A and B are shown apart, each in its own frame.
Chain A
Amino acid sequence: MTENGQEQPGHWLTLQSAGSGSSWGCRIESVGVKLPARRLTTRDLMSKTSHRTRIQLERLTGIHERRVVGPGENSFTLAAGAARDCLSHSQHRASDIQMLVNTSITRSNGRFSQSFEPPLSLYVKQAIGAAQAVNLDLSNACAGMLTGVFLLQDLISRGEIDCGMVVSGEYISNLSWNAAKQIRSLFSKQLASLTLGDAGAAVIVERVPGGSGIDVIGFTTLAEHSRLCLAFPSTLGPGSQMYTKSRTLHRVAIADMAVLAAEAIGQAGIDIADIDYLIPHQTSARAIRAGTKEFVRRLGARPKHVVVNLEEYGNTSSTTLFVALHKYLEEQRIRKGDRVMLLALASGIEIGIAIFTVDSMVDHYGNTH
């Protein structure tokens, strides 16, 4: 990457990196979540399908339970709750946030099952008191939050802003209930809808001296596979229905992902074995295992740990990476100096990769290592 629009060497990823001569770097300063209190076990969900399916969902996916919203909770409350939690782990106050990006696919707010205008980010910034922040919503399926970080990284590294927040609130359990009315077998295209759980997540990114912060962040859209996962408003009940060709999606994504990961790792000047924690998008434990195996085969080495938190939360859509990162920070499993790779995989097909080294962020989660 070079300043002022000069041609960069060819990358498949649209790529930003810390070592590109920018005046400033961009670091992840804090992460927050809002998880609904209600839990729904896979056993309970599968006992409520309209047809007798014989699908052993927990064995197939590794999901024991997921959180689901209760009365009064929706995408907005989850997003606002996560934003508040994020601030509680941050040295920043809400008034420091200069840009706030909401990236949830679902935008329910009490009145609307899916709101369009004004953007949900307007209400989130009002709720947390970030009145002066420029706000916008973006939608990029399950890669939304990392897309938001990508955009803020550029604004921060050019010195346009000092501090920004990306937030998402996903109320998606109603997709599970809609799917449960129709699913008959393992081969249903709505099977992936049964893996979903509700969650909110937020992340604050801030300016640091150049050369530090997020090492690399990059994205690309494999648009020839754009129709492998589609979600539309349902006619069965409030919310959407999602149709996924899961096996094809994983097969084509994994094949390209290894090449893209190699590109990002090369840009960071490291090796895959230098990654302490790979946090992939959380779909199913089996898919993550198969993906990691293929990843390792193609890249010739493996990351030290691959994070899977499906058992407790299921697939929480655009929030998965940051829900997982938050959990590992809270449990003090990630330590200062650990190198983390976030790997977003989403309908589109969107593939996004961020590599960063964990720093004093851990101190805000009671970690004294």
Chain B
Amino acid sequence: MGTRIEAACALTRGGPRKVTARGLADAAARACLAQAGRRPGDVDMLINAGIYREDNMGEPALAALIQEDIGANLGEPPVGAHGTFSFDLLNGACGVITAIQLQSGLLCSGVIRYGAIVTSDVDPDAGSHGAAALRPAGGAMLLGWDDGIAGFTDFHVETFPEYADLYTSGLVWQGRRGIRFPRQGAGRHQLVIDEKPGYQDRLADCAEEATRNFLRELGMDMTEVDLLVPAPSAPGFLDPLRERLGVPGDRVAYTPEDLAGTHTTGLITAVQAAIRSGRLGEAGNTLMLAAGSGITVALALYRQASA
């Protein structure tokens, strides 16, 4: 018995209108539910793990707006039915694995029956913060409980705070200079993403160390991993990592080019690729990996053998 991935969907456009974080997350959530053959009302918990938005809204949680947009249990449910609990989670590129860990536990306890994880990022100040522009992308994953598989059995998170300064981001207040016209603001908050040289190399080092520690904890070696599903959030670190871990290319779920370079959606793009290629269904032991700011490395083992 274990947590099962019901469906995963990632996309770069949410519809004909301007690309927004909310629009991308809404579109991905709807597509994911349709893939799984589930209704929005089936979702007991909705976690948004996306970070960068066009408006940088502080409250409510974007998850609440997504819940409203997709129509998941908006008001009092009928007798015997249930509501939906929505909130945002921030853990950079590792947010999706953290959300899976939390929902997997709640599924195990029977507190929830279906959990949705959504992500989206857009660049509110494209190109003006010095770092590479964030690629607009949104994703959604639906998790359920399956009596026939072991599902997500183990999780491992390691942080390497000595490298915390290699990737930082946030809003910086910039006061307007010169003459101000009536009704003109005094300034604006600009997004600053500061990626220092060497970040992606350190990501590979940390990801390798954390993966080896995780496998040691599990009593496994890399040859027992049938499929590696790495979040391509920082694509420059993947190939060196794969080589160091000795994973053949045919045991890695590579994200298609049109979805490469996505941020919090990275893991969902890789899972979607693994599902579409049929390889996730064939793999007994799948190792999911994400690495990002902190430096934080998150890993999850997904087993499709029965528990």
Contacts and interface: CB of A to CB of B under 8 A. Distances in A.
Interface string B74-109: 111101111111111111100100100010011111
A1 B111 contact: yes
Interface stretch (A54-62, A64-72, A221-229, A359-367): A221-229
Interface in B290-304: 292-294, 296
A10 B77 contact: yes
Interface stretch (A153-161, A281-289, A329-337): A153-161
A245 B91 CA distance: 31
A24 to B, nearest CB: 11
Contacts of B293: 117-118
Nearest to A256: B76
B57 interface: yes
Nearest to A106: B58
A355 to B, nearest CB: 16
B122 interface: no
A256 B74 CA distance: 12
Contacts of B1: 4-5
A191 B23 CA distance: 30
Interface string B273-297: 0000000000000000000111010
Contact of A12 (B59, B82, B167): B82
B169 interface: yes
- Chain A CB within 10 A, most for which of B52, B65, B86, B169: B86
Given A4-B1, A114-B170, A226-B65, A16 B87 contact: no
A231 B171 contact: no
A342 B161 CA distance: 35
B230 to A, nearest CB: 19
Interface residues of A, number: 80
Nearest to A240: B58
B55 A348 contact: no
B45 interface: yes
Contacts of B60: 141, 226-227, 229-230, 346-350
A6 B84 CA distance: 17
B111 A8 contact: yes
A57 B131 CA distance: 45
Contacts of B80: 9-10
Contact of A117 (B76, B168, B188): B168
Interface in B43-80: 44-46, 51-52, 55-61, 63-65, 67-68, 72-77, 79-80
B179 interface: no
A98 B92 CA distance: 20
Contacts of A11: 82-83
B149 interface: no
Contacts of B63: 221
Interface residues of B, number: 72
Task: Give the interface SS of chain B, mostly helix, strand, loop or mixed.
Answer: mixed
Contacts of B52: 116
Contacts of B51: 116-117
Contacts of B106: 154
Contacts of A346: 59-60
A138 interface: yes
- Chain B CB within 10 A, most for which of A131, A158, A219, A233: A233
B83 A112 contact: no
Interface stretch (A80-88, A119-127, A301-309): A119-127
B64 A350 contact: yes
B189 to A, nearest CB: 4
Contacts of B296: 118, 122
Given A12-B77, A116-B170, A233 B109 contact: no
Nearest to B110: A2
A14 interface: yes
B43 to A, nearest CB: 11
A7 B169 contact: no
B113 interface: yes
A233 B86 contact: no
A223 B59 contact: no
Contacts of B186: 235-237
Contacts of B98: 136
A122 B110 contact: no
A115 B109 contact: no
Given A4-B110, A5-B145, A105 B58 contact: yes
A242 interface: yes
- Chain A CB within 10 A, most for which of B51, B80, B83: B83
Contacts of A143: 87
A155 B185 CA distance: 46
A22 interface: yes
Given A113-B172, A118-B293, A154 B164 contact: no
A3 interface: yes
B72 A223 contact: yes
Contacts of B170: 107, 109, 111-117
Contacts of B45: 14
A114 B64 contact: no
Contacts of B169: 112, 115-117
Interface in A1-33: 1-16, 20, 22
A-B interface, 10 closest residue pairs, ranked by CB to CB distance from nearest? A112-B170, A235-B185, A5-B145, A224-B74, A115-B170, A220-B83, A117-B293, A140-B87, A233-B189, A10-B80
28 contacts: A10-B82, A106-B58, A112-B172, A112-B192, A114-B56, A115-B168, A116-B171, A117-B293, A118-B168, A122-B161, A139-B90, A147-B87, A154-B105, A154-B111, A158-B108, A160-B105, A221-B85, A222-B75, A223-B64, A223-B84, A226-B60, A226-B68, A236-B186, A237-B173, A256-B75, A348-B59, A350-B64, A350-B86
